[in-house]
Copies of this chain bind each other. A is one copy, B any other.
């Protein structure tokens, strides 16, 4: 019987993202999908700013942008008036108060996005097996190393296959066989079910905002406009809704009926279609799966775990992040870096986000149906300043923008996300927002910062410098290198101590294998290291100023010498944006998926590594450090 590390069911965004990560990290994968081809037209299409960061970190952004997607920078709101409809305001979709590299939503048809992933997966030797489906599975433990048996079949029933796997993952979408078999229920918080009509096409219109995202309310109904690649536009029309659990809505509204509705709603403007690429009518309710896994062997993610209205454009984005969250945890368990208990944080972290998403979905609708915001509120909500008095509207709107952009996603304190109260590792050198010693919050994404790479003087995005390689990222903000020379050397000395987290997980073949050209993982796959110094690039001599351990990562040494409009008075903008002292610096641990794990002070002596050993010790479930360095 064939054995796989992971069997993945479904080649939509969640399955493909998981497959991409694990294939790159060397796992043996069986990936099936019950469709004969990737998505041809329609379906999800909105990539949020934070997701674009992630795709860039995976090296896939450029291929996605090569399709010339539409970019949505603003959302326009239209309401009825005596002439038909009129614009009541426009809002940045990712306002300036959010520190985003790409402050826009990227609109591209899901099939093109899927193909970018598939190409990458195939490069790493995995083929999606189509059209195949899952017919059964059980975690029978007959083979302790590959405890899950999975039965697969060609959709026409002519062929079957039974394989064993360490993990089974369902990215099957809203109708999940795996979820049904597990008996996991979907919880429907909002009792209203909606029927939506959606149509992609090329139009002719004098409606001035046809290239913007628009929410239009008129006496003839409501419509949402979303620009697309290839001069197309998507229209969402809410056709019907009901709270009656026995409601059986008509799902057969024709294309012509939807076009007629759109024409009515858009009056006094006119619209006609040159061609329709895709048209669908579907009912959708809000729902969330009670569990994402029962045994930490069989997992689910994406639409199999959460469904909601398409209005906020969050579906695919939540799927990406579900998959990345799970991928690195499986990797760390399988590589022996972490105990199996790490896997329990997949459900606790990602289910919280799905719950927030559903709450948000409801709040967002209410926000704009209540009343038209005043001009002062509009500018207040978009402002970078936080001094002004904010009313509830502005506060809610800001939170909404942060959430939809993906930057509001924050995981609660747990073993991975350090906190002053809840984390078992405690040490005087931990920094926190509460104490004002850092602006970073564990569980939130690392703040972006622009720095100069020392070896080639390239101006780079610090948060993107380590690719998605499955390693923790240790950002050493070295402060003033002259004043901190002892601290930096002490740090390296104690990192090299035989029982430190750094040494414990170093390559087994460290002394025998040639890794001269390895940039990110010269010593260990557990962690990659970046050093950022508060100095001009030309004043940094890596070999002279840094201890050997840090100098070995010569491609990851940066000068914090690029001015940033968000901290205009800072000399070392990256230090300042993290809220670290520009002279004394600090050490930031970032999880493999880009979220902050903990922040530690950089001090002379062994304290810094002691704190890091304590933090990682909790994560990896063993005692680290505690011995003197041999160096």
Query: Which A positions have Cβ atoms within 8 angstroms of B?
Result: 62-63, 65-66, 70-74, 90, 104, 202, 204, 206, 208-212, 227, 231, 274, 455-459, 516-517, 537-538, 541-543
Contacts and interface: CB of A to CB of B under 8 A. Distances in A.
Nearest to A543: B208
Contact of A212 (B63, B204, B456, B543): B456
9 contacts: A62-B66, A66-B66, A71-B456, A71-B458, A72-B456, A73-B456, A73-B459, A90-B457, A211-B456
Contacts of A204: 516
A66 to B, nearest CB: 6
A517 B90 CA distance: 25
Given A231-B517, A538-B90, A456 B70 contact: yes
A457 B212 contact: yes
A209 B454 CA distance: 9
Given A73-B458, A104-B458, 15 more contacts: A63-B66, A66-B66, A71-B456, A72-B456, A72-B457, A73-B456, A73-B457, A74-B457, A90-B457, A90-B538, A208-B542, A210-B455, A211-B455, A211-B456, A212-B455
A457 B90 CA distance: 10
A462 to B, nearest CB: 16
Contacts of A73: 456-459
Contacts of A537: 74
Contact of A227 (B206, B456, B459, B542): B456
A6 to B, nearest CB: 29
Interface-centre pick from A71, A204, A456, A517 (highest chain B CB count, 10 A)? A456
B208 A541 contact: yes
A206 B554 CA distance: 11
Given A62-B66, A538-B90, A206 B456 contact: no
Given A65-B62, A90-B538, A455 B543 contact: no
A432 to B, nearest CB: 34
A376 to B, nearest CB: 15
A231 B456 CA distance: 12
Interface-centre pick from A90, A538, A543 (highest chain B CB count, 10 A)? A538
A89 to B, nearest CB: 8
Contacts of A455: 208-212
Contacts of A541: 208
Contacts of A538: 90
Contacts of A208: 455, 541-543
Nearest to A202: B517
Contacts of A456: 70-73, 211-212, 227
Contacts of A65: 62
Contacts of A457: 72-74, 90, 212
A538 B204 CA distance: 23
Contacts of A516: 204
A-B CB proximity, top 10 nearest: A211-B456, A74-B457, A73-B457, A211-B455, A71-B458, A90-B538, A204-B516, A73-B458, A62-B66, A212-B456
A227 B456 CA distance: 9
A543 B62 contact: no
Contacts of A70: 456
A267 B550 CA distance: 24
A517 B70 CA distance: 16
A73 B456 CA distance: 7
A516 B273 CA distance: 12
A362 to B, nearest CB: 27
A209 B456 CA distance: 7
Interface-centre pick from A73, A206, A517 (highest chain B CB count, 10 A)? A73
Nearest to A378: B538
Contacts of A71: 456, 458
Interface-centre pick from A71, A90, A516, A542 (highest chain B CB count, 10 A)? A71
Nearest to A452: B73
Nearest to A519: B231
